[in-house]
Amino acid sequence: MYFILDGSVAIVVNGNVVASLHYGNFFGEVALIAQIPRTATVRAATPCHLYRLSRVDFMLILEEFEDMARRVDLIYEERMAKVRAEQEAKQRAEEERKQLELRQNGQDEGNYVEDKDEDYEEEEADMADLAEQGAVMPKND
């Protein structure tokens, strides 16, 4: 985990700058808390002085200072929500790109499923109830 003592950094996810951090901010807590590889690239936007906090020291601080642990957890949750949103947006964009490519190549005919709306499903349920009650239903041809 790193604390910014001087300067500023850009947080980059999937090639896009998603945040800028400066004096007093920190980064790298996601990897320490979740024990996962980094979720973003951090680039110096200006010359920086950073303080590095090891995982061992980080855990000792969180054990000793509960208020700090709560604050870090809140920031962690906010940052992970942003990461998830970025990943979902990237996935949607990729799916849309693939669908567009299929349409442009004429390969999507018959490859999609019709989505029933809720009203249609409710109507089917109502018709089934009427049939159970002995109602004669017209045939759909």
Q: Mind listing the pLDDT tens digit for each residue in 78-104? A: 878 887 888 888 889 899 998 988 888
- What does the pLDDT average to over 40-47? 94
Whether 17 is in a domain gets the answer yes
The confidence score (pLDDT) of residue 141 equals: 47
User: Domain limits at 18?
Assistant: 2-104
Q: What angle do CA 65, 70, 75 make, to 5 degrees?
A: 125
When pLDDT is cut at 50, 70 and 90, the band that residue 117 belongs to is: low
Which CATH number do you get for residue 39?
Answer: 2.60.120.10
Whether 127 is in a domain gets the answer no
Q: How many domains does the chain have?
A: 1
The confidence score (pLDDT) of residue 118 equals: 52
Summary count for the chain: helices (H), strands (E)? 4, 6
Is the pLDDT at 37 greater than 60? The verdict is yes
Whether 97 is in a domain gets the answer yes
Whether 41 is in a domain gets the answer yes
C-alpha span between 3 and 23 (Å, rounded): 8
The confidence score (pLDDT) of residue 139 equals: 52
Whether 113 is in a domain gets the answer no
Q: Average per-residue pLDDT in the chain?
A: 80
Whether 116 is in a domain gets the answer no
Is the pLDDT at 41 greater than 50? The verdict is yes
